[in-house]
Structure 1
Amino acid sequence: MSTLPIPFALIEDHPDLRAAMSEYLCAQPEFRCVLIAESVEDFLAALPGLPEPPTLVLSDIELPGRTGIEGVRIIRQRLPEAQVLMLSVYTDAARVVEAIAAGAVGYLVKSTPLPQLKEGLLQVAAGGSPMSPAVARHIIECFRPTQAAGNGAEALTVREQEVVHWVEQGLSAKLIATKLFISVDTVRNHIRAIYRKLEVNSKGELLALTMRRRN
């Protein structure tokens, strides 16, 4: 993705929270704040006048006017290179599925401490997909071997479960390879096998599967 500092934008309608996040994140040397907006509409209106577009966006979901999820779709159309990390008070699977399907690359709860929020953004910049533990727990359940076998699907191997664990933690294929002392190509082969066994084709479908199994 972008070299440091990363052109960064924030969309948050709550004044106090917006001030706290922008004050902290804009002071970090890894980020160059190019836009702070309180709505999707304000964000889009300001884009043409920016000296450079953001490549990393942190957006709330519950916003006045267009929702953050609607905003992700538009941002991805206007700025194909931009990566959007969603922020919300909600952890329900349906909302996470919708956000990921719209184009978000990660999903954190608003109670995430600012240093961890920064770390999540840096994970996104490195190719990861961070998710708060409260959200991730819903996802990991669908990978349990007993559940897979019970649904007539082929069970995941121990190594595949390890890969799933690190995917759930938001790590990129390269970082997973480092963690497991295997090649990036091997990680990708495991991910393809996981998708095949669970009969999904993307993270969005994976989240949808989780939601259905928990209902």
Structure 2
Amino acid sequence: MIYLGIIEDQPTIREALTGYLCAQPEFSCVLSAASVEEFLAAVPTMIHRPTLILSDIGLPGLSGIEGLVPLRQLLPTAEVVMLSVYSDAQRVFDSLRAGAVGYLEKDTPLPVIKENLLQVAAGGSPMSPGIARHVIRYFQPAPRLALEPLTAREQDIVRGIEDGLSYQRIADRLFLSIDTVRSHIRQVYRKLQVNSKAELLARGYRR
């Protein structure tokens, strides 16, 4: 049996959630509150404490995100899933960093909310599709910009580096000052999006 707690300040939404979820055989709705503070105040007197909490974010008093810390302190084994109209990346990551294990958009159909809560009880971390996209984008590397072409002189310097020459020997070969060679090398690194001679050689930028 999953002992479910719900934190939602809008009565119509709270009633819809409790009316549907409490009628499901997998859940026992042990607490429903309009704020984090009300929820926390009720927990100490309960026989069966919530093992799974569905919480809004935009609440009076402590927000759902701010409430994650005291909720987890009072109920360290309970899992918390956020249910919110907010789908921006900042709130998503703030919630996950604070300890939420799932994040659902508030327009998620009730049967889907149920299935997602069952996933949490089974060890999963459900997210609405739009929320999951934020997470994927966060971990994807930024696309590398198109490489700028090197000038003829910069190509000469790259060849010198690949031939194993020191900056001074490159300067001597090309009849340049060593400061000019260093200036060209900075431009080469910028254009090729590398940060060191080793990276330049590893990527094989011979022209």
Name the TM-score, length of structure 1 as normaliser.
0.65
Paired with 1:143 and 1:57, the residues of 2 have a C-alpha distance of 27
What is aligned with 2:66?
70
Give percent identity, aligned residues only.
Answer: 61
Task: Answer 1 or 2: which has greater helix percent.
Answer: 1
Root-mean-square deviation (Å): 1.5
Q: Once superposed, which parts of structure 1, at least 4 consecutive aligned residues long, lie more than 6 Å away?
A: none
Task: Indicate if the aligned counterparts of 1:39 and 1:63 stay in contact, CA closer than 8 A.
Answer: yes
Aligned 8 A contact 1:142 1:148 in 2: no
The residue that corresponds to 2:111 in the other structure is 115
The structure 2 residue matched to 1:23, chosen from 10, 19, 26, is 19
Rounded to whole Å, the distance in 2 between the matches of 1:71 and 1:109 is: 18
Deviation at 1:150, TM superposition (A): 3.5
The answer to which structure, 1 or 2, has the higher relative contact order (CA under 8 A, 6+ apart) is 1
Post-superposition Cα deviations, 1:9-33, rounded to whole Å, max 9, x if no partner, equal: 0000000000000000000000011
Aligned to 1:93: 89
Distance 1:41 1:129 in 2: 25
Q: Report whether the alignment pairs 1:105 with 2:121.
A: no
Aligned residues between the structures = 145
- Cα 1:142–1:102 shift into 2, 3 Å: closer
Residues 143 and 75 from structure 1, CA distance in 2 versus in 1: closer, same or farther, beyond 3 angstroms?
closer
In structure 2, C-alpha distance between the alignment counterparts of 1:141 and 1:103, rounded to whole Å? 20
User: How far is the alpha carbon of 1:52 from its aligned partner?
Assistant: 1.3
Within the candidate set 77, 84, 99, 2:80 is matched to 84
Structure 2: gaps of 5 or more residues: 146-207
Q: Distance in 2 between the 1:28 and 1:9 partners?
A: 14
TM-score, normalization: structure 2? 0.67
Please, which runs of 5 or more residues in structure 1 have no aligned partner?
152-215
